[in-house]
Amino acid sequence: MNKAWKRIGLGLISIGLVLVLLVSGVVPQVAQAGPERAAKIGLHGVFTGGLADVGVPWSEGILDYVRYLNEKQGGIDGVTVKAEWEDTRALIPRTLTAHKRFMAKGVVAELIVESGPGEALRPFAIRDEVPVIYVGGPTRSMFTPRPRWEFGVMFQVETWLAMPACWFAEKVWSEERPPRVGLMIFDVAAVRDAIEGAEYFADELGYELIGYEVVPFYGAIDTSVEWLRLLAKKPDIVIVGVYASSLVTLAKDAGRLEIIEKGTPICAAPLVLLQSMIDIIGKEAENWYAINPYPTSRDTHLPGMKFIHEAAKEYRGCEPRDIAGYYIAGWLHAMVVVEAIRLAIEKVGIDHLSGAAVRDGLVSIKDFDTGLLPPGSMSEDKPWFSDYFAMYQVQQGILVPVSEWMQVPVSYPLPE
């Protein structure tokens, strides 16, 4: 038999074998695989850039919670959660590009760490019907008309500066007149909203707001002039709403000017003075107060802290002392989003899971106990998770709690 007939014969044999397999039902299982049982979230990660000092631990906290959930707890009743991520650097152009990629991948929720990109995402969240969840308190520029599409984990941004002023007036101040409160800020929309809230609540909460000074968002090299101008107004306490590298300069200058030693307390706004920043600032951070919406890694009495310690040790090689505050914030951030996904799957099933279903899940969260904070709830009228904060003070280089968890006593009117 020549070579051509041999090739034809072998081809006929191959075809015959395929037909036998088809008739007998012996078909590789991969060809019969059904749809993937996974819920995808979009992480606007910050692994590089000017906010990496807070963005990296926050991003890692989210990624590690998702991994821990899938590996240790079997996902959401067998449904895997996948974190699709992009390194957006908290920059708006990169955030918008990431959003397009997330939509192509079918994510059902997006997580952000900085308010500016969240405000830029607002029209796209509405158009594409995907909820955006911010690690902080949502700003007015984030709020969408009902139905809400942008949410926060912590209380309203308008109360950020008012709450430490209120605590100081009630728990520390002893004179009959209201304490005079000065603010040191940088100029972003969230902080502007917080200033407006501080002015709005001053009479109700018993303090006098005497003014503020503004320092650069990035790269402040000297803040002495701003400090001296503010101190000339004779504040009884200064509340600082400045983050990242500019905070280091500001704290160093405050130490050099001996502001606390001369009798003016300083208090950091939410998510400003975390342990990682204290380690960078050094002795100049001593005796600063800080308002915290999230616990620290030393709050070992909290049942949820055990899981954070386990995950940080296994996945990052971190001892409890080295777990950053933003890692805990990211973990809690992911917990809230996963709870919304769980409620959505419970209602519509995994095959019909969508951004709209997760949005409905967010506003359906009721008394969810994270093991880290008092139970929290969300709704159309309250599009943020937690209403609680605690006061801490830097003592011997460590953040030490000086209060129990306290509930925010006021709320700022929401846009309809």
CA gap 102, 86 in Å, rounded:
9
Does 99 score more than 90 pLDDT? yes
pLDDT for the residue 53: 83
pLDDT for the residue 35: 52
Write down the pTM of the prediction: 0.86
Quote the percentage of the chain above a pLDDT of 90. Answer: 77
Q: DSSP letter at 76?
A: B
pLDDT for the residue 219: 81
Residues ≥6 apart with Cβ < 8 Å to 346: none
Tens of pLDDT, residues 212-256? 999 988 788 999 999 999 999 999 999 999 987 899 999 999 999
Tens of pLDDT, residues 150-160? 999 999 999 99
Q: DSSP letter at 384?
A: B
Residue 361, helix vs strand vs coil: helix
pLDDT for the residue 191: 86
Tens of pLDDT, residues 104-158? 999 999 999 988 899 999 999 999 999 999 998 888 888 878 899 999 999 999 9
Domains defined along the chain, listed by start: 38-156+300-388 (3.40.50.2300), 158-294+391-407 (3.40.50.2300)
Residue 252 · residue 278 · CB < 8 Å: no
pLDDT for the residue 3: 44
